[in-house]
Amino acid sequence: MSAIKFRGVDFIEFDSLLSDDERLVRDTTRKFIEDNLVPIIEECNRAGRFPRELVKPMGDLGFYGASLKGYGCAEMSNVEYGLVMQELERGDSGVRSFVSVQSALVMYPIYAFGSDEQKNAWLPALQKGDKLGCFGLTEPGFGSNPGGMLTRARKDGNDYVLNGDKMWITSGTIADVAVIWAKVEEEDNKIRGFLVETDRPGFSAQDVHGKWSLRASVTSGLSLQDVRVPACNLLPKSDGLKSALMCLNQARYGIAWGGIGAAMSCYDCALQYSLLRKQFRDQPIASHQLIQEKLAWMITEITKAQLLALQVGRLKDEGKVGHQHISMAKRNNVWMALECARLAREILGANGVADDYPIMRHMMNLESVKTYEGTQDIHALIIGAAVTGVDAF
């Protein structure tokens, strides 16, 4: 458990911009993280262990599919959902990733593209945490260019037969169902989504070992060898790669808020440490100009990120958000968080690399968060295309 307890970060009365319900959701999530995740996360990170014991309690609090309507979901606003993601990632990026995948990459595609039968069969169980899911888009040879995927689905009578491999899949080995994206041979290789129960013959998942990042999260590779699923497992409203990218947009939005949480954790830890640590003339290092410059940069960038995420969330609640807005928020806020982690590590000196403090864990996690769900470069091109009207891909 960290030697320093989080106190909250609000430089410009950001809380005054939130409604009572939004603050309640944020504070409830914050208390859950402080009471349940913070005391165990460093042990989980050391052991490379996902805290499975928190799955059901998070379901009880409505974290899964929180912004969806019906099926037992909490029906939060997008801003409320974002604040949940902020607090989860303040605890740990791996735990936020798990909730993001369950919500945005498994429940959302079933909700948006599934049949009524699929929704009724899966969404209530996924919302409670009784069933877990994963999202299979990325492949060993195709990350930023998912449209080049090699996974294929072939119609055979009343079934589809799937073959292919997926990589860097959160929750792959603990999932009950995988949302697999594949090119359908009979539809001129159009990309469609399939619900694949993970106990079907020919489906296998293997954990990725040796990670220095997201160690409290399950990361897997998936293999599909002649996996046969009934035609009713096709997500009927999935319509090309754009459907998969719509799911990623939901996840990227949550990441934009999550980055703020990680940055808050690093900043608040560094600020408190700087007031306690004494050096030169028995003065706290917070009295030094160079330390204050680092802290000033961090709180300024966190504040800007808060306002960016809040405006994108408001636009999303009004149905006005564009994918370019979400790309800007994800790109800026994760970059900002990683820089905050690095500056915080500098302020803590050698202590910054010890897991008595959360700094190094956040830094290593954020290196992955900066890459997944669209790299910094890909999001730059999305923004560039939006402002110039010219696609540079």
Q: Which residues are catalytic?
A: 373
Query: How far apart are alpha carbons 20 and 17 in whole angstroms?
Result: 10
**Exposure pattern of 14-34 as b/e (b: 16+ CB <10 Å)?**
eeeebeeebeebbeebbebbe
Residue 84 Cα to chain centre, angstroms? 11
Based on DSSP, count helices (H) and strands (E) in the chain, helices before strands: 12, 7
Instruction: Please tell me what DSSP assigns to residue 28.
Output: H
Look at residues 105, 80, 252, 111 and name the one whose alpha carbon lies nearest to residue 172: 105
Farthest-apart Cα atoms in the chain, separation? 81
Look at residues 179, 162, 174 and name the one whose alpha carbon lies nearest to residue 230: 162
Instruction: Please tell me what DSSP assigns to residue 349.
Output: G
Backbone angles phi and psi of 311, in degrees to 5: -65, -40
| The two structure tokens encoding residue 230 | 């009934």
* Helix, strand, or coil (residue 270): helix
Are the beta carbons of 69 and 127 closer than 8 angstroms? no
Q: Where are the beta strands (DSSP E) in the chain?
A: 133-136, 152-156, 159-170, 177-184, 190-197, 203-207, 219-230
| The two structure tokens encoding residue 40 | 């165990």
Query: How far apart are alpha carbons 92 and 213 in whole angstroms?
Result: 11
- H helices of 277-369, where? 289-317, 323-348, 359-369
Q: Is 370 exposed, middle or buried (0-12, 13-18, 19+ CB in 10 A)?
A: buried
Helix (H) or strand (E) holding 42: helix 41-47
Residue 214 Cα to chain centre, angstroms? 11
